[in-house]
Amino acid sequence: MVKKVKFSFPVVFEILIWVFYVGMYKYSAHLEQAHLPHVPDNDFPYLEICLYSFCSMLFIVPYYRWMVPKLLTAKRYWILLVLTIVYFVPVYIYAMQGMAWIFMVGTKGVVVAAYFAHLFNNPFLDIDVMLIDLITFLCLAFARFSYQTEQKRHQVETDNLQLQLNMLKTQLQPHFLFNTLNSLYGLSLTGSKETPGFILLLSQMMQYILYDCDQEFVRLDAEQEFLKGYFELEHKKFPSAAINFNVLAVIPEIKIPPLLFLPLVENSFKHGKHKLEDDATVQARLTVTAEELSFVISNDKLPAGSGNRGKGGIGLVNIRKRLDLYYPGKYSLTFNESEQVYIAQLTIKLI
């Protein structure tokens, strides 16, 4: 199996530095400094000097790829400063001098070999270039470090949210199964013909929770089917209440994080008046346009002193964290309430 190479920003930036700075700028600087004879109809004469530009900078790879990120991570700034001074004074000079000697010995052309001999005998010739090298590769090292730090932070947040999602699923399953099995028991006692369909619906929903939700994203139609089943089960438990979920007739092929709307739905059913009075309602609506996705759910509130809603549990905290991770700056989550009704609305921009 061939492993695909990921061209992230640091990799692209590094390639550009080596191609345009080391391969072209330093090569042209050496040509200008060497005053070599012009070669007609040749845009890249004296390739030995181009190869020297690359080889003479190989010693700096461990510095910007390993030493700088490691010391920045450990916050050893003074050690990094001392290391940089040492690396770019004696090490740099001796590396340039050693590479110039290798090319002086290995080059057949007399004129080019004489230029490498000149570099070998004058190790302090390129002090100004050394400063440019220092700035260039420090920038590359800081770019790599910043990108890697951000990637690690993003991974930690993703892992943390995945743990919270798993916690949400484990909290849902016992509570969900307990209430649903009670309803199944009641249906079985009355010999209801709906019992097999009820069991099948429960099986499909549990399969979605246990297996499909292990993915980072799920199809919107799958999420809607899960919510539809959830509302159907709740309606069977409270048949006299007005429990409705307005579903989409045509669902666009978009994906969202799994169980994204579930905390809002659970919150409404947990604090809804329908558990005490038959004429209460729980209404939800999912709409999608080319620009945005909207989910709105409302419920009649429990009377004061009847276990009225508080600030919300881990589910509502979880949904905000997940939205910040997956839709930063592209969502709106609002909660509005009157004396009788509580409304939660989530809007996500799709473009």
Q: What is the Cα–Cα distance from 174 to 177, expressed in whole angstroms?
A: 5
Provide φ and ψ at 143, rounded to 5°: -65, -45
- Given a cut of 80, whether residue 163 has pLDDT beyond it is no
If we measure between CA atoms, which residue out of 335, 332, 327, 333 comes closest to residue 351?
327
Q: How confident is the model at residue 343 (pLDDT cuts 50, 70, 90)?
A: very high
Give residue 169's pLDDT: 60
- Given a cut of 70, whether residue 342 has pLDDT beyond it is yes
Give residue 171's pLDDT: 61
**Residue 147 β-bridge partners:** none
- The helix/strand/coil state of 337 is strand
C-alpha distance from residue 297 to each of 89, 262, 321 (Å): 67, 11, 20
Give residue 237's pLDDT: 77
Find the angle CA(279)-CA(281)-CA(283) to the nearest 5 degrees. 160
Residues 6+ apart with CB under 8 A from 222: 208, 212
Percent residues over pLDDT 90 in the chain:
18
Q: What is the Cα–Cα distance from 246 to 224, expressed in whole angstroms?
A: 10
- Given a cut of 90, whether residue 334 has pLDDT beyond it is yes
pTM attached to this predicted model: 0.56
Mean pLDDT over 80-86 rounds to 89
- The helix/strand/coil state of 138 is helix
Per domain, the residue ranges of the chain are 9-151, 193-349
pLDDT in tens, 173-186: 565 666 667 767 76
Q: How confident is the model at residue 132 (pLDDT cuts 50, 70, 90)?
A: confident
Number of H helices, E strands in the chain: 13, 7
The alpha-carbon radius of gyration of the chain (Å, integer) is: 33
Give residue 3's pLDDT: 46
Q: What is the 3-state secondary structure (H, E, C) of 139-186?
A: HHHHHHHHHHHHHHHHHHHHHHHHHHHHHHHHHHHHHHHHHHHHHHHH
If we measure between CA atoms, which residue out of 64, 81, 118, 63 comes closest to residue 96?
118
Give residue 6's pLDDT: 57
Give the tokens for residue 145: 């470090």
Give residue 274's pLDDT: 80
The DSSP secondary-structure symbol of 342 reads E
Give the tokens for residue 7: 């061209």
Amino acid at 241: A
- Given a cut of 60, whether residue 172 has pLDDT beyond it is no
Give residue 244's pLDDT: 93
159, with CB counted inside 10 A (0-12, 13-18, 19+), is exposed
Residue for token pair 């996500």? 348
- Given a cut of 90, whether residue 209 has pLDDT beyond it is no
Given a contact cutoff of 8 angstroms between Cβ atoms, the answer to whether 218 and 255 are in contact is yes
More confident residue, 154 or 169: 154
- Given a cut of 60, whether residue 219 has pLDDT beyond it is yes
- Given a cut of 50, whether residue 264 has pLDDT beyond it is yes
User: Considering all CA atoms of the chain, what is the largest pairwise distance in Å, rounded to the nearest integer?
Assistant: 104
**Residue 286 β-bridge partners:** 295
- Given a cut of 60, whether residue 328 has pLDDT beyond it is yes
At the topology level, CATH places domain 193-349 in Heat Shock Protein 90 (3.30.565)
Q: What is the residue-averaged pLDDT of the chain? A: 82
Percent residues over pLDDT 70 in the chain:
87
Q: What is the Cα–Cα distance from 153 to 226, expressed in whole angstroms?
A: 32
- Given a cut of 60, whether residue 121 has pLDDT beyond it is yes
Beta-strand runs (E) in the chain: 218-219, 242-246, 255-256, 281-288, 292-300, 331-337, 341-349
Q: How confident is the model at residue 305 (pLDDT cuts 50, 70, 90)?
A: low
Give residue 2's pLDDT: 44
Provide φ and ψ at 121, rounded to 5°: -80, -10
- Given a cut of 80, whether residue 91 has pLDDT beyond it is yes
Give residue 287's pLDDT: 93
The sheet with strand 341-349 has its strands ordered as 242-246, 281-288, 292-300, 341-349, 331-337
